[in-house]
Amino acid sequence: MRRVVITGLGAITPLGAGVKTTWRRLLESGDGIVSTTKLGTDFTSLPSQVAGLVPLGSRSDGRWQAKDWLPASEERQMALFAQYAIASAHEALEDAGWHPTAQADLEATGVTIGSGIGNLDEAYNTSVAFSHGGYRKVSPLFVPRLLINLAAGHVSIRYGFKGPNHAATTACTTGVHAIGDASRLIAFGDADVMVAGGAESCIHPLAIAGFARARSLATAWNDKPSASSRPFDTNRAGFVIGEGAGIMVLEELEHAKARKANIYAEIRGYGLSSDAYHMTAPREDGEGAFLAMRHALRHAQAKPADVDYINAHATSTVLGDAAENRAIKRLLLGPDGKSSASQINVSSTKGAIGHLLGAAGAVEALFTTLAIHRNVLPPTLNLENTSEDFDCNYVPKTAQQHAVDLAISNSFGFGGTNASLCLGAYR
Ligand SMILES: *[C@@H]1O[C@H](CO)[C@@H](O)[C@H](O)[C@H]1NC(C)=O
Ligand SMILES: *[C@@H]1O[C@H](CO)[C@@H](O)[C@H](O)[C@H]1NC(C)=O
Ligand SMILES: *[C@@H]1O[C@H](CO)[C@@H](O)[C@H](O)[C@H]1NC(C)=O
Ligand SMILES: *[C@@H]1O[C@H](CO)[C@@H](O)[C@H](O)[C@H]1NC(C)=O
């Protein structure tokens, strides 16, 4: 089996535009959760009034404005999620130093970038305009701005990448599926380099209304946004919607070595499972999560006891966090596992950025990669009290320095789809 390593990282998140700002602020226990009431009156009537928004401003301050990343003509053609994707892809490719021009290299480079929801804003505005004004109100750019695979399409068009071009859309598991599937394409020989990840931007009143109706969102912390996303905490009460993108450059090991690329970590395993249970609720026993992690470890040929860190999916919902916690303990306290739950290091970085839906798995895999590369456990913000069953080390509030050789990043989505990536230090 061809080995796959990570050689470039790019991200736009509620903590900032760019990996450097995002990672620095994450380790400083910063957060990107703000009130949505300033976004307009449509937001003030909703039960949840907090969100992880990408901070606006200039690129040199680690903030986002489209014109710093792409020409106005492209900005007009692209949905915001696709803009975040193209900016993050640009950063990741610069970081990897991969700028191919030869035909063979372009053919060996592919793109998989997914999104959970896509361009809800465009669908909404055009629906309203069409219903009032009919055919003449529909923009010729409506379809290209709507389609989810256009993020991957735009990246390949900009750089001329002629390898596989794909887009996963599996709700909140999208980012992990995009990266995991891309690693399989490299392992199988369909490509030598893949630009892979997820992007999301649907901080729209209709999206918030929908998730609130599904009773998924935090509603009790509207006056204190930065305390609203509290994975594993006793007072957790729903997720906080967020936006952004995470993109990685994945590369076949010998290819990376031949060009002396910087290697952050290796993709050691990828596990997938389905709850086969319910549209939105997890199985209480966490079986789906357990199976996904176990498959990832089997693929990595690693034992549960080898796992130093788990970046949990934990979105700050009552049921989801409990199910995942149960699954993690079942996996790591097994016969060949740890003897004490307090030795298990788990954190959920959603405390700092909220839940980026289709981008979540990609951004979190990126955090997990840096945890390995820098030997540090990123914190779970707002974790004050835990109930009895929550007895792992959740890295509450502040980052912890600790050698991380092998780690797991989890993502679970509506529809019962679960996936785990197992990442390891490159040796
Ligand atoms: C949709 O309409 C709102 C309100 O007029 C506007 O602020 C927003 O930019 C529009 N979005 C798109 C994608 O055209
Ligand atoms: C597996 O996916 C489902 C999707 O509904 C998710 O809700 C659940 O949390 C995942 N399973 C577990 C046990 O966490
Ligand atoms: C978890 O981290 C602590 C230090 O923060 C360390 O003492 C412990 O060994 C770690 N556990 C594992 C399984 O790596
Ligand atoms: C956490 O628990 C302590 C007592 O153990 C209590 O004093 C405190 O109010 C709790 N904090 C929250 C946020 O519930």
Atom index in ligand 4 nearest the CA of residue 385 equals 1
Distance between CA atoms of 34 and 38, rounded to whole angstroms? Answer: 10
Task: Render each residue's pLDDT in the chain as its tens digit; 427 residues.
Answer: 899 999 999 999 999 999 999 999 999 999 999 999 999 999 999 999 999 999 999 999 999 999 999 999 999 999 999 999 999 999 999 999 999 999 999 999 999 999 999 999 999 999 999 999 999 999 999 999 999 999 999 999 999 999 999 999 999 999 999 999 999 999 999 999 999 999 999 999 999 999 999 999 999 999 999 999 999 999 999 999 999 999 999 999 999 999 999 999 999 999 988 777 777 777 777 888 899 999 999 999 999 999 999 999 999 999 999 999 999 999 998 766 566 899 999 999 999 999 999 999 999 999 999 999 999 999 999 999 999 999 999 999 999 999 999 999 999 988 778 899 999 999 8
Is the Cα dihedral 227, 383, 322, 27 positive or negative? positive
Burial of 190 (0-12, 13-18, 19+ CB in 10 A): middle
Ligand 2 atom having least distance to the Cα of 327? 13
Residue nearest to atom 4 of ligand 2 (CA): 416
**Nearest residue by C-alpha to atom 5 in ligand 2:** 416
This prediction has a pTM of 0.95
Task: Find the Cα–Cα–Cα–Cα dihedral 228, 233, 235, 236, rounded to 10°.
Answer: 50
Residue with tokens 């109706």: 213
Each residue of 81-119: b (16+ CB within 10 Å) or e? bbbbbbbbbbbbbebbebebeeeebbebbbbbbbbbbbb
Active site residues: 172
C-alpha 288 to ligand 2 mean position (Å): 6
Interatomic CA distance for residues 185 and 161, integer angstroms: 15
Instruction: Give me the phi and psi of 357, to 5 degrees please.
Output: 50, -115
